[in-house]
Amino acid sequence: MSRVLVIGCGGVAGVAIRKCCQVSEVFTELCIASRTKEKCDRLAADLAGTTATKITTAQVDADNVDELITLINSYKPDLVMNIALPYQDLTIMDACLACGVNYMDTANYEPEDTDDPAWRAIYEKRCKEAGFSAYFDYSWQWAYRERFEKAGLTALLGCGFDPGVTQAYCAYAKKHEFDEIDTIDILDCNGGDHGYAFATNFNPEVNLREVSAPGSYWENGRWVEIPAMSIKREYTFDQVGDKDMYLLHHEEIESLALNIPEVKRIRFFMTFGQSYLTHMKCLENVGMLSTTPVNFEGHEIVPIKFLKALLPDPASLGPRTHGKTNIGCIFTGKKDGKEKTYYIYNVCDHQECNKEVKSQAISYTTGVPAMCGALMLLTGKWTEKGVHTVEEFDPDPFLDALDRYGLPRSETHAPVLVD
Ligand code: NDP
pLDDT tens-place string over residues 208-220: 988 889 999 999 9
Determine contact, residues 16/8, Cβ cutoff 8 Å. Answer: no
Quickly state the pLDDT bin for 103 (edges 50, 70, 90): very high
Residue 62's nearest CA partner among 98, 43, 36 is 36
Percentage of residues in the chain with pLDDT exceeding 90?
93
- Nearest residue (by CA) to ligand 1, atom 41, is 160
> Which ligand 1 atom is the nearest neighbour of the CA of 158?
41
The pLDDT assigned to 210 comes to 86
pLDDT beyond 90 at 102: yes
SS3 314: helix
Highest mean pLDDT among 155-159, 307-311, 315-319: 155-159
pLDDT beyond 90 at 97: yes
Between strands 54-59 and 79-82, the pairing is unpaired
Separation between Cα atoms, residue 415 and residue 382, nearest integer Å: 31
- Nearest residue (by CA) to ligand 1, atom 10, is 8
pLDDT beyond 90 at 240: yes
Which of 41, 348, 366 is the pocket-test mutation for ligand 1 (most atoms within 8 Å of CB)?
A: 366
pLDDT beyond 90 at 201: no
- Nearest residue (by CA) to ligand 1, atom 7, is 84
Task: For residue 132, report the phi and psi dihedrals to the nearest 5 degrees.
Answer: -135, 155
Separation between Cα atoms, residue 163 and residue 47, nearest integer Å: 28
Separation between Cα atoms, residue 213 and residue 64, nearest integer Å: 29
Which of 85, 89, 90, 188 is the pocket-test mutation for ligand 1 (most atoms within 8 Å of CB)?
A: 85
Which of 15, 35, 105, 372 is the pocket-test mutation for ligand 1 (most atoms within 8 Å of CB)?
A: 35
Mean residue pLDDT of the chain comes to 96
| Residues framing ligand 1 (Cβ under 6 A) | 8-13, 34-36, 39, 60-63, 83-86, 88, 106-107, 158, 160-164, 202-203, 206, 314-315, 366
- Nearest residue (by CA) to ligand 1, atom 23, is 203
pLDDT beyond 90 at 362: yes
* Cα–ligand 1 centroid distance for 87 (angstroms): 9
**Mean predicted confidence (pLDDT) in 394-417:** 98
pLDDT beyond 90 at 315: no
**Mean predicted confidence (pLDDT) in 222-248:** 97
**Mean predicted confidence (pLDDT) in 54-79:** 98
Stated as kind and residue range, the H or E segment containing 34 is strand 27-34
Q: Which of 168-172, 271-275, 362-366, 401-405 has the lowest mean pLDDT?
A: 271-275
pLDDT beyond 90 at 291: no
